[in-house]
Chain A
Amino acid sequence: MTDERAHPAPARGRRAVGVPPVFPGSQAALPHVPAAQPHVPAANAHPASATEAPGGGPADAPVTALAASLSDGEWHRLHPASPLLKGGIALLAIIGVVIANLRERLIEYFVPQAGYGGEDPLELIIDSGAVGWVLLAILSVLLVLVGAFYVSWRMHTFRITDEVVEVRSGVLFRTNRKARLDRIQGINIVRPFFARLFGAARLEVNQAGQDANVRLDYLASAAADDLRREILRLASGTRAQSAGAGAAAVPGQNVVDRRVHEFLAPELDPDAAEPASVVKITIGRLIGSILLSGASIFLVAGVIGLVVSSLFAPRALVGFFGLVPVAIGIAGFYTQRFLKSLRYSIAGTPDGVRVGFGLLSTSNETLPPGRIHSVKVSQPLLWRRVGWWEIRVNRASQSSTNGAAGQQNTTILPVGNLDDVARVLRLVLPALDDETEMALATSGLTGPGEPGDGFTNSPTRARVLRWFSWRRNGFAVSPTAVLLRKGAIWRELIFVPHPRLQSVSISQGPLLRPLRLASVHLHTVSGPISAELGAIELEAAMGLFGHAANAAVTGSSSDTSHRWRSREQAPSPDAGAGE
């Protein structure tokens, strides 16, 4: 009997985080204690660290101290303007509606001779003499909103420990999300236009899976940068303290100067990136790449089709009106791509590749090593004459800040020449620093596919299935990755690093079997790249299958990228105890 009574009480004590189960009996008597309650005293214990600093302006307090205090394992709060920024669009919409209603009245007020006689809500209110009541209602709504914002801000707390990032939010419906640091797939700092004006930024800790990101929206801009570095340091497994983690001193004394500086500052921290490895896209190349994209082919083909058909039947000119929405859509696509890629930057940091995008709303993501599951270098047909290439990657996480068709997320180089491609490949696949591997990559990109270029290509009998590309259609195996080369018209080269291989399959259909050909598929996490190579010789395919199956096992067991700097020499003597 006593056993049964004693059993539920400790369980309840365990559920309420942070409360020592001193009196199990008294806890059993209070079963309605919400799980959220214990964090309030904990958060109150450090009111100065998170609540004061962002509110008082980020640069007033020393930035390093701020980040260190944010990642000290205690609960902290977000930027005080967060609820406003999150609800910013809704608020703007409401203001817009009010202004739309008010507009006619303003016109009448300032230009009385315009003669406005319409009925609108405001007029009705004034006519019925209920102005006072309406003002009271608006005031109370505002008060309720501010109160709700305040409560939701107070209940939204986060903490960063050596092992996890944890966020708790919600007032009526509590949410608690924990993310293990060694499973981080990338950390993204997003600055929407509206938030940038306030000097705020959203930090996203990306995890593998659909909708598995931990979002801290919003933080003070400088604090977000520093917090990312702190999280990456904790996640990397290094024991070394980051020396001089502070950003360069922000010039300017007053708030306006600081905002302007933040707004215009380059996306890369100068001290965290190697300047030599940065690829810049000139505006001319960006415009050219967009104009020569596949959408332009459709547009030109559509116009030509219409012109030709209207020559034969003048009535077809009506079709031009049908082209208008298409043209608007394509123009929107062009603008979107242009604005997104305008301030593109990429750089290597000790904690991975950092990719930045965006002109007005910016995003800047750090991908730790080993978080890129496959890489595809491809060349649209029209880019061939100018020698441009595009690089896309497969990643395990889906960030919420994708643009058109997730372009921002998976396109790691929107356009670049062969030099840029080589630089970016060295960043995303560090093993490519080797000269022989780079030579392999080069012949994989532009090589016509002679025997002896390092690739095992399709045999001549595959010509039936790969009319133009049978010479180039092949694979190569480097010590760290498998390379698949495909296509003669739309050329592409796919890298799959061995430690990221999930599984491998070989298949043969009724077309391939009589030709003694087979197709090999290297499975990685889903994304824009499907690492599949068809129509290669059966023996070679079996060899690749065997090699890839082996490499997937040995590559993953020797991989330490989940704690990517744990092998680093640390100054402290207990370095071996890491991980």
Chain B
Amino acid sequence: MTNRLDLPGIAWRSVSPKYVVSELLGLVVTGLVLAGATAPLYLIGWDFAPWVTVAVVVFVLVQAALTPRRVRAIGYQLRDDDLVFRRGVLLQRLVAVPYGRMQLVDINRGPLQRALKLSELRFVTAAASTGVTIPGLPEDEAEELRDRLVALAESRRAGL
């Protein structure tokens, strides 16, 4: 991918490879639920019901096949004055948030992520559209990152 949206001179830090596992397990659950939701189609005896199930399974499989690439595409880096974050394969997005603009930093852990010792870091600014959420960070790295970001935000604090 040469024409990938990228910033020159940035060594992106990637998220933990274990996040792929967490994503895949989540996809399996979603796939099972979706496939289960097609069951009523069999009950009413619709001829195309198997095809719907097949479509659901194929969709989930394609998603699963793309997951490693999607996880590899997630990257972040702490620059001198701001945090840059990128994600997305098909719809690529690159965000820069100045440290002084951070209002708070969240750490979230779902049950699956807790089992894998992963955390999700969320940055909140005054703008709802900022939307920077770094998933799949190792627990200790996430906490270290949070403390560092809070310290950086404190030293560069600005108003709204």
Contacts and interface: CB of A to CB of B under 8 A. Distances in A.
Give the interface size class of chain A.
35 or more
Nearest to A509: B91
Interface in B65-118: 81-82, 84, 88, 90-98, 100-101
B129 A556 contact: no
A503 B159 contact: no
A525 B3 contact: no
Contact of A506 (B5, B100, B125): B5
A413 to B, nearest CB: 23
A513 B3 contact: yes
A556 B93 contact: no
A452 B91 CA distance: 32
Given A500-B160, A506-B94, A553 B127 contact: no
Contact of A503 (B3, B7, B96, B156): B96
A2 B84 CA distance: 53
B98 A503 contact: yes
Contact of A549 (B3, B96, B125): B96
B130 A503 contact: yes
Contact of B130 (A506, A516, A523): A523
B127 A523 contact: yes
Interface string B126-144: 1111101000000000000
B95 A503 contact: yes
B80 to A, nearest CB: 9
Given A552-B82, A556-B101, A516 B127 contact: no
A508 interface: yes
B158 interface: yes
Contact of A505 (B94, B101, B126, B160): B94
Nearest to A552: B98
B126 A508 contact: no
Contacts of B101: 502-503, 552, 556
A182 B157 CA distance: 14
A415 to B, nearest CB: 29
A521 B97 CA distance: 12
A222 interface: no
**Residue of A183, A185, A505 most packed against chain B (CB within 10 A):** A505
Contact of A521 (B7, B100, B129): B129
A392 to B, nearest CB: 17
Nearest to A395: B160
A524 interface: yes
Contacts of B93: 505-507
Interface in B12-44: none
Nearest to B103: A502
A182 B159 CA distance: 9
B87 to A, nearest CB: 10
A510 B94 contact: no
Interface stretch (A7-15, A59-67, A436-444, A557-565): A557-565
A530 B129 contact: yes
A510 B160 contact: no
Contact of A502 (B88, B94, B130): B130
Nearest to B89: A510
B55 to A, nearest CB: 21
Given A208-B160, A553-B98, A502 B126 contact: yes
Interface string A520-550: 0101111000100000000000100110110
Interface in A310-351: none
Contact of A525 (B81, B95, B160): B160
Interface of B: 3, 5, 7, 81-82, 84, 88, 90-98, 100-101, 125-130, 132, 156, 158-160
Interface of A: 182-183, 185, 208, 370, 373, 396, 499-500, 502-510, 513, 516, 518, 521, 523-526, 530, 542, 545-546, 548-549, 552-553, 556-557, 559, 561-562
